[in-house]
């Protein structure tokens, strides 16, 4: 094969890879054969009870973290470097929720500290919030190998910790960062495009959805709709505060 043909093949494969990465961010890994199957909900947000464990009585985030930071309920406990509990204002009005820690987060024990985290900080500043004013966490507290999607059994073990965090913080608004976070919390297969269209309810808390900052690094075209999303969040927050 000539060098020119090799270059053309490489370019085609690169374009295909980019396309599927974008489609995955927008629509997930589910293939919908028709409109009738698209967006079918698996269930309403979980109303399951907490497990019968001591940490459920924690009254502060620090106390909760101290009780769960050595968790070994799923295999991720054995492969993590650091448990990533979350960071920010323990009484925040707004909680931002991603899917799981990445390599930088696993190394430092803090969510959104890599390039995506730096972009998230800029997004917050653009709507006049400081990182310290909000609370930032993930559905999973430990990094999945190779940054793969969270497994159902991992979510089952870890999501109650998130319930307890939200119970302690009592936020006014939740912002899901990315499709996986939103689909997991809302127990739905709706696309990110559809999920962004309205305000949802998660265990009594208004929930909005926008793109994950890592997706914006791959596709800057999504920065404009993200800007529109966070402007709506800011407007909703200001209206709540005015009441």
- The domain ranges of the chain are 71-242
- Give residue 134's pLDDT band: very low, low, confident or very high (50, 70, 90): very high
Task: State which of 25-34, 37-46, 69-78 shows the largest mean pLDDT.
Answer: 69-78
Question: Which of 1 and 85 is assigned the larger pLDDT?
Answer: 85
- pLDDT score recorded for residue 50: 85
What value does the mean pLDDT take over residues 211-231?
96
Q: Evaluate whether 100 touches 139 at the Cβ level (below 8 Å).
A: yes
First vs last C-alpha separation in the chain: 69
Question: Is the pLDDT assigned to residue 239 strictly greater than 70?
Answer: yes
Query: Quick one: tokens of 234?
Result: 């800011």
Q: What is the mean pLDDT of the chain?
A: 87
Helix axes 179-186, 3-27, angle to 10 degrees: 30
- pLDDT score recorded for residue 118: 96
What value does the mean pLDDT take over residues 89-98?
98
What whole-number percentage of the chain has pLDDT above 70?
80
What value does the mean pLDDT take over residues 87-112?
97
- pLDDT score recorded for residue 23: 46
- pLDDT score recorded for residue 197: 87
Query: Quick one: tokens of 128?
Result: 């006049």
Q: How far apart (Å, rounded) are the C-alpha atoms in residues 33 and 207?
A: 29
CATH pick for 71-242 out of 3.40.50.1370, 3.30.930.10, 3.30.70.260, 3.40.470.10: 3.40.470.10
What value does the mean pLDDT take over residues 220-241?
96
Q: How far apart (Å, rounded) are the C-alpha atoms in residues 142 and 102?
A: 9
What lies within 8 Å, CB to CB, of 64 at 6+ separation is 55, 58, 85, 161, 164, 165, 168
Question: Is the pLDDT assigned to residue 238 strictly greater than 90?
Answer: yes
Question: Which of 33 and 209 is assigned the larger pLDDT?
Answer: 209
- Note the pLDDT tens digit of each residue in 143-188: 999 999 999 999 999 999 999 999 999 999 999 999 999 999 999 9
Question: Is the pLDDT assigned to residue 18 strictly greater than 60?
Answer: no
Query: Quick one: tokens of 24?
Result: 């995955």
- pLDDT score recorded for residue 199: 97
- pLDDT score recorded for residue 157: 96
Question: Is the pLDDT assigned to residue 24 strictly greater than 70?
Answer: no
pTM score: 0.81
């Amino acid at each position: 094969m000539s060098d020119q043909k090799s270059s053309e093949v490489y370019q085609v494969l690169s374009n295909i890879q980019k396309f599927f990465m974008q489609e995955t961010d927008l629509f997930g890994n589910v293939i919908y054969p028709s409109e009738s199957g698209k967006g079918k909900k698996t269930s309403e947000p979980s109303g399951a009870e907490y497990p019968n464990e001591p940490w459920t009585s924690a009254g502060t985030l620090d106390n909760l973290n101290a009780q769960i930071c050595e968790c070994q309920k799923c295999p991720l406990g054995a492969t993590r470097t650091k448990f990533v509990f979350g960071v920010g204002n323990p009484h925040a009005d707004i909680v931002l929720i991603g899917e799981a820690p990445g390599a930088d987060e696993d190394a430092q024990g803090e969510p959104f500290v890599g390039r995506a985290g730096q972009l998230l900080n800029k997004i917050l500043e653009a709507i006049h919030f400081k990182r310290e004013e909000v609370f930032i966490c993930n559905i999973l507290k430990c990094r999945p190998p190779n940054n793969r999607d969270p497994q159902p059994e991992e979510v089952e073990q870890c999501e109650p910790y998130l319930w307890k965090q939200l119970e302690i913080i009592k936020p006014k608004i939740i912002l899901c960062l990315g499709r996986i976070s939103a689909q997991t919390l809302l127990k739905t297969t709706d696309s990110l495009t559809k999920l962004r269209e309205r305000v949802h309810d998660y265990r009594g808390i208004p929930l909005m959805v926008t793109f994950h900052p890592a997706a914006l690094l791959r596709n800057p075209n999504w920065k404009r709709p993200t800007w529109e999303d966070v402007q709506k969040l800011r407007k909703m927050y200001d209206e709540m505060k005015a009441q």
